[in-house]
Structure 1
Amino acid sequence: MRVVFAGTPEVALPALDAIAGSEHELVGVVTRPDAPSGRGRRLTESPVAARAAELGVPVLKPGHPREPDFQSALRDLAPDCCPVVAYGALIPQSALEIPVHGWVNLHFSLLPAWRGAAPVQHAIWAGDEITGATTFRIVQELDAGPTYGVMTEAVRPTDTAGDLLERLAEGGAGLLVATLDGIAAGSLEARDQPAEGVSLAPKITVDDARVQWGETAVATDRRIRACTPGPGAWTTFEDERVKLGPVTPIGNGPDLAPGVLSVGRSEVLVGTATVPVRLGEVKAFGKKQMPAADWARGARLADGAKFS
């Protein structure tokens, strides 16, 4: 088939590479416009745009896919199908109708669970033991289109959202190519999603990422891992924001009130509503990220200090 790939961030690259190396003809790539990045706020192309340039594939960067010029250019490319991974914009019906086989999205959950922008983060936060990826045909309703195929992936006890997403992106790339193969061969038919089991996964905000020390140690651990690497879990100490890496619940630690620190030579513990957690990496305002014990020594912390 002639395909036009749509995607933007780095997580889309495994799928783009897999399609480029498949039997399908990659005739174009759609991605988000260049955006300011870094301290100098220079306009920078997306990871997908950069990879497409390396592959020598034409790139379309519409401000929004509703734009007539974009839709005209897409028609000129005459795609049979448009595979999608993390493109980042809603596709209007007029654009959905251009390819013969529609737009096929790789979504990082077992639909209908976790429809929305942050399925991996929400799966970790909810304590799911199994998640996966699903290919489906895009319709106007959010992540509700009929599905083609799935893959499953175990959620490991120490997985961050970044860890899990990396594995799903690699495994999902093969699923997406297999889906395109089946569509091209006429051997794969999309099936409606079940009405039961729908859950939503809205974007995780910076406010969501603030650690609530009054939660249990298990809930604290899940929140922090779900928010790593982005938007980044944080708390405050002496009215300044402190970013936190993943923590470890301690089953037989000291009895600490929520947010209260116990400072040792090689570790820093923090109280929760249940057992304490051991801090991992810490990044104080204006400082480099470092092990919690090094941060505590530099800040001259003692037992009884408290996160707010």
Structure 2
Amino acid sequence: MSLRIIFAGTPEFSVPTLEALIGSEHEVVAVYTQPDRPRGRGKKMQFTPIKEVALKHDIPVYQPLSLRNSEAQEELALLNADLMIVVAYGLILPEAVLKAPKLGCLNIHASLLPRWRGAAPIHRAIEAGDDKTGVAIMQMDKGLDTGDVWSEASVAITPETTMIELHDTLKVLGAKLLLETIPTVVAGEKSPQKQLEEGITYAEKISKEEAKVNWEEDHETIMRKIHAFNPFPGAFTSIDGELLKLFRVAKTANKSQATAGTLRVEADKIYVVTGDGFELEILELQVAGKRKMESALFIKGHEINQKVCQ
């Protein structure tokens, strides 16, 4: 059965789902996305990734500042949609919008609900040391990620997993799971499952301030933070007043009595002492104003042996 679908999304994470819907039997009658905003160093006005895809396929694009006013709600209702799909849109959907499509609104959420409701579920799952996460197809209601769940799919998280790697896995997994779930929703023979009352956690929005590395913490906590904030906002430290962002590190069996944050250079490798005495090997970092680089390249231009990160 072909459905008339409204798609709402904004960042690159949403793109695979929109592309999957465009390539399916369904008709995407409209795309809702955040207003164009200045981005990048030049602060030039740029389209959202979702708008770029929509325009490429000649799909009408709507970019209201809010969906709370009656005019925007009436405009959406006139699209006569069967279903609305929401993936990282960034605007709250009031009850009038949730009820406008015949089958309501489905959301792809990047966690296994009820764990990590909220804005930054991918970051927080890695930071917390979860051994798995996934995507959930949720029937949206008025609450913050509180709706009943139609389906879920999980993936493993390892100590080496970075946010960008998990992001790219989940965006594809979510698109696939959605297409598998839509026929169940349309059939009307089953109901989504209510979320458990136990195990609810909230993934607060990431602030740049919390990305500062505290070298007094243990090596596993520091490693998780660095990988959770790769690439945004980028975990950071400083050496002699020079800001460094850290993107990838590796566990070692090395132990040291040196002060936490002390750097050690051996051949083309950089090690840093953590609060529990274990050294982490820094694999990828970035000096302010320059591109990411591997440690071997950084060493060539910097004398850092026995210096202490601040």
Same fold flag (TM > 0.5): yes
The answer to which of 88-97 and 1-10 deviates more is 88-97
- In the other structure, the counterpart of 2:292 is 289
Q: AA paired with 1:113?
A: R
Q: Which consecutive unaligned segments of at least 5 residues does structure 1 have?
A: none
- In the other structure, the counterpart of 1:263 is 265
Measured in 2, the distance between the counterparts of 1:104 and 1:145 equals 9
User: How far is the alpha carbon of 1:72 from its aligned partner?
Assistant: 2.0
User: How far is the alpha carbon of 1:174 from its aligned partner?
Assistant: 1.2
Measured in 1, the distance between the counterparts of 2:257 and 2:57 equals 58
Measured in 2, the distance between the counterparts of 1:256 and 1:94 equals 61
Cα deviation code 1:41-80 (max 9, x no counterpart): 1211100000011111111111112233322221121111
SS in 1 for 2:154: strand
Measured in 1, the distance between the counterparts of 2:290 and 2:61 equals 39
Question: Once superposed, what is the RMSD of the aligned Cα atoms?
Answer: 1.4
Q: AA paired with 1:185?
A: A
The answer to which of 201-210 and 278-287 deviates more is 278-287
CA contact (8 A) 1:256 1:270 kept: no
C-alpha change, 1:188 and 1:57, in structure 2 (3 Å) is farther
Higher strand share: 2
- In the other structure, the counterpart of 1:238 is 240
Cα deviation code 1:181-239 (max 9, x no counterpart): 21122234122111111011111111111111011111111000000011111112222
C-alpha change, 1:106 and 1:221, in structure 2 (3 Å) is same
CA contact (8 A) 1:264 1:293 kept: no
Measured in 2, the distance between the counterparts of 1:222 and 1:168 equals 18
- In the other structure, the counterpart of 1:37 is 39
- In the other structure, the counterpart of 1:50 is 52
SS in 2 for 1:104: strand
Say if 2:289 is the partner of 1:300: no
User: How far is the alpha carbon of 1:254 from its aligned partner?
Assistant: 4.0
- In the other structure, the counterpart of 2:102 is 100
- In the other structure, the counterpart of 2:90 is 88
CA contact (8 A) 2:263 2:272 kept: yes
Cα deviation code 1:21-42 (max 9, x no counterpart): 2222211111001010122212
SS in 2 for 1:213: coil
Q: AA paired with 1:104?
A: L
Within a 5 Å distance, the mapping from 1:4-43 to structure 2 comes to 4-43=6-45
CA contact (8 A) 2:138 2:148 kept: yes
Within a 5 Å distance, the mapping from 1:101-140 to structure 2 comes to 101-140=103-142
- In the other structure, the counterpart of 2:62 is 60
Say if 2:272 is the partner of 1:273: no
CA contact (8 A) 1:30 1:60 kept: yes
SS in 2 for 1:78: coil
Cα deviation code 1:130-158 (max 9, x no counterpart): 11110111112110011111111111331
- The equivalent position to 2:173 in structure 1, one of 157, 171, 174, is 171
Measured in 1, the distance between the counterparts of 2:12 and 2:137 equals 19
- The equivalent position to 2:154 in structure 1, one of 135, 143, 152, is 152
SS in 2 for 1:250: strand
The answer to which of 288-297 and 270-279 deviates more is 288-297
Measured in 2, the distance between the counterparts of 1:286 and 1:57 equals 38
Cα deviation code 1:219-266 (max 9, x no counterpart): 111000000011111112222321111111211344432100111221
CA contact (8 A) 2:248 2:285 kept: no
- The equivalent position to 1:142 in structure 2, one of 106, 126, 144, is 144
Q: AA paired with 2:117?
A: R
Measured in 1, the distance between the counterparts of 2:78 and 2:289 equals 51
- In the other structure, the counterpart of 1:224 is 226
Q: AA paired with 1:23?
A: E
Q: AA paired with 2:74?
A: S
Measured in 1, the distance between the counterparts of 2:190 and 2:8 equals 21
Measured in 1, the distance between the counterparts of 2:201 and 2:60 equals 37
Measured in 2, the distance between the counterparts of 1:277 and 1:263 equals 12
